[in-house]
């Protein structure tokens, strides 16, 4: 157990709720935490919650005679081994950068001049990327403070962009590092989430040299795989025929036909958190696969009897809860009535999300795509962009829904 002491300042952002978890992580390691709230932060989290979790009085006002008598703000700054501001609002960053001390946190910041400072910004991406905010954080970094880069994802304002506060585990990790708390105290890193993506065009054999297939290129599936890898997720690819080479570091399950694809999907569904079905699976396959190459008969027509293929994504989505991935996501490529068909599929197949795309505007194999991610109660539109950009947004959106 550690005897370290942390002063945790909390600014007025929706992300303030995450600070409760940060306090819990520190307490589990035996670290003493004292919380200080700005006036705005009190709109988002109560002093009572933090007091209960930290077991210490929570400070809010600079001019609180009782609290000052128990431990003045100068003593409070001296008491701490490290100052963490999580969330750091744009306002706090501006005050720290220019040395304004007009409330308890900004005064403490100046008084805690000789201890490490860790800042975890959280704000709307426009606020974060504003030159004023950027300049303030640059100044603070030059002062030797640790600034935890904001993450991308869905923000409280509804935008899907950069600005989310780092997760409490990451902030705690930085604090352990800065305070020289050895590894055994570090919380075990959680098992990475696993995403399984079906990709490509299935090939349904007619005879040893012929098959029925379609024009799917696999680009969208590969873009999703890359986006997931970038976010540290484990990626399984159930791969039918694709023109391109799959990204490195994925586990690949070659599955040329719909039946093989279903078999593989059912085998790994249990170890999958997010199942995304981008593959263009042939709806039908020849009832009989000829063992020898079919010979052309003079003037004769060829009659192929086709039978229906299994619906892979629906079968996975309808698995019992203990075997089913947490999220099952389908793709609906349509040439008309896009949203109506997508809603129908969502309900009929028991999917959590369906990514609807209009292939009459953005054909298979192209570089661009425009997608609506539809769920029972929500619809998120990602306007025309490269498949890479859309994939990043889809993965961030799904990750924001899984926690
Ligand atoms: C609902 C809501 C959410 C807000 N979220 C943020 C935020 O995430 N980051 C931020 O910098 N400001 C946010 N603000 C604005 C700050 O609360 C505001 O600038 C305030 O003056 C910050 O005060 P403080 O820095 O003393 O906590 C939000 C305001 C509202 C009403």
Q: 197-237: per-residue pLDDT in tens?
A: 999 999 999 999 999 998 888 888 999 999 888 777 899 99
Q: CATH 3.40.50.1950 residue ranges in the chain?
A: 5-185
Q: Tokens for 183?
A: 């590894």
Q: Evaluate if residue 117 carries a pLDDT over 90.
A: yes
* Lowest mean pLDDT, pick from 86-90, 187-191, 241-245, 351-355: 187-191
Work out the burial of residue 317: count CB atoms within 10 Å of its CB; fewer than 13 is exposed, 13-18 middle, 19 or more buried.
buried
Say what percent of the chain tops pLDDT 90.
61
Domain 194-284+306-402 in CATH: superfamily?
Answer: CoaB-like (3.40.50.10300)
The residue-averaged pLDDT of 339-349 equals 90
Please report, for residues 329, 346, 365, the alpha-carbon distance to residue 85 in angstroms, rounded to integers and kept in the order given. Answer: 37, 43, 47
Q: How many angstroms is it from 12 CA to the middle of ligand 1?
A: 4
Confidence of residue 188 (pLDDT cuts 50, 70, 90): low
* Helix residue spans in 112-248 (DSSP H): 125-129, 131-142, 168-179, 219-230
Return the residue whose CA atom lies nearest to atom 5 of ligand 1: 13
Assign residue 21 a region (left: φ > 0; alpha: ψ between -120 and 50; beta: otherwise). alpha
**Positions of CATH 3.40.50.10300 in the chain:** 194-284+306-402
Q: What is the pLDDT of residue 295?
A: 83
Look at the block and give the residue holding tokens 């079905």.
277
106-120, 154-168, 378-392: least confident range: 154-168
Encoded tokens for 143: 């002062």
Active site residue 157: yes
Residue in 97, 95, 96, 85 with CA at minimum distance from that of residue 135: 97
Residue whose Cα lies nearest atom 11 of ligand 1: it is 89
pLDDT band at 382 (very low <50, low <70, confident <90, very high): confident
Distance 153 CA to ligand 1 centre (A): 18
- Answer whether the bond into residue 87 is a cis peptide, omega within 30°: yes
131 CA distance to ligand 1 middle (Å): 18
- Do 219 and 244 meet the contact criterion of CB atoms below 8 Å apart? yes
If phi over 0 gives left and psi between -120 and 50 gives alpha, with beta otherwise, what is residue 163?
left
**Look-up of token digits 């059912």:** 266
**Domain 5-185: assigned CATH number:** 3.40.50.1950
pLDDT, tens digit, 9 for 90 and up, residues 64-99: 998 898 889 999 999 999 999 999 999 999 999 999
Mean model confidence pLDDT for the chain = 89
Q: pTM, whole model, 2 decimals?
A: 0.52
Atom of ligand 1 nearest to the CA of 15: 8
Measuring from each residue's beta carbon to the nearest atom of ligand 1, which residues come in under 6 Å?
11-15, 38, 40-41, 89-92, 122-123, 127
**pLDDT over 60 (residue 403):** no
Taking CA atoms only, the protein residue closest to ligand 1 atom 22 is 12
CB-neighbour burial class of residue 143 (10 A; exposed 0-12, middle 13-18, buried 19+): exposed
How do strand 204-207 and strand 251-254 relate by DSSP bridges? Answer: unpaired
Match 């889809």 to its residue by tokens. 394
- Per-residue confidence (pLDDT) for residue 184, from 0 to 100: 46
Beta-carbon contacts of residue 69 (< 8 Å; ≥ 6 apart): none
Which residue matches tokens 């400070």? 59
The radius of gyration of the chain from alpha carbons, rounded to an integer in Å, stands at: 27
Shortest-distance atom of ligand 1 to CA 165: 8
């Amino acid at each position: 157990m550690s005897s370290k002491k942390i002063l945790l300042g909390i600014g007025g952002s929706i992300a303030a709720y995450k600070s409760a978890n940060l306090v819990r992580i520190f307490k589990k390691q035996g670290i003493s935490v004292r919380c200080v709230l700005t006036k705005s932060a009190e709109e988002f989290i109560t002093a009572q919650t933090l007091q209960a979790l930290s077991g210490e009085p929570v400070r809010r006002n600079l001019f609180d005679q009782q609290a000052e008598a128990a431990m003045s703000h100068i003593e409070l700054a001296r008491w701490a081994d490290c100052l963490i501001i999580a969330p750091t609002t744009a306002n706090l960053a501006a005050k720290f950068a220019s040395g304004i001390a007009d409330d308890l946190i900004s005064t403490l910041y100046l008084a805690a001049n000789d201890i490490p400072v860790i800042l975890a910004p959280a704000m709307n991406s426009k606020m974060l990327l504003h030159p004023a905010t950027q300049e303030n954080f640059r100044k603070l970094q030059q002062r030797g403070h640790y600034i935890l880069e904001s993450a991308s994802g869905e923000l409280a304002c509804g935008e899907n962009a950069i600005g989310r506060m780092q997760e409490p585990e990451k902030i705690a990790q930085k604090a352990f590092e800065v305070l020289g708390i050895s590894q055994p105290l570090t919380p075990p890193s959680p098992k990475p989430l696993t995403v399984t993506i079906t990709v490509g065009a299935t090939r349904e054999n007619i005879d040893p040299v012929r098959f029925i297939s379609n024009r799917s290129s696999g680009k969208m599936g590969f873009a999703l795989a890359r986006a997931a890898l970038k976010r540290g997720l484990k990626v399984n690819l159930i791969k039918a025929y694709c023109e391109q080479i799959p990204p490195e570091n994925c586990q690949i399950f070659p599955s040329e036909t719909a039946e093989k694809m279903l078999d593989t999907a059912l085998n790994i569904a249990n170890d999958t958190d997010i199942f995304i079905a981008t593959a263009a699976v042939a709806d039908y396959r020849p009832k009989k696969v000829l063992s020898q190459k079919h010979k052309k008969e003079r003037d004769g027509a060829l009659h192929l009897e086709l039978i229906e293929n299994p619906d892979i994504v629906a079968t996975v989505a309808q698995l019992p809860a203990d075997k089913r991935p947490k999220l099952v996501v389908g793709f609906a490529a349509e040439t008309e009535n896009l949203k109506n068909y997508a809603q129908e599929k969502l309900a009929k197949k028991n999917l959590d999300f369906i990514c609807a795309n209009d292939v009459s505007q953005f054909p298979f194999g192209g570089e661009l795509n425009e997608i609506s991610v539809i769920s029972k109660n929500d619809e998120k539109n990602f306007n025309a962009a490269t498949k890479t950009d859309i994939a990043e947004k889809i993965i961030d959106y799904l990750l924001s829904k899984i926690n």
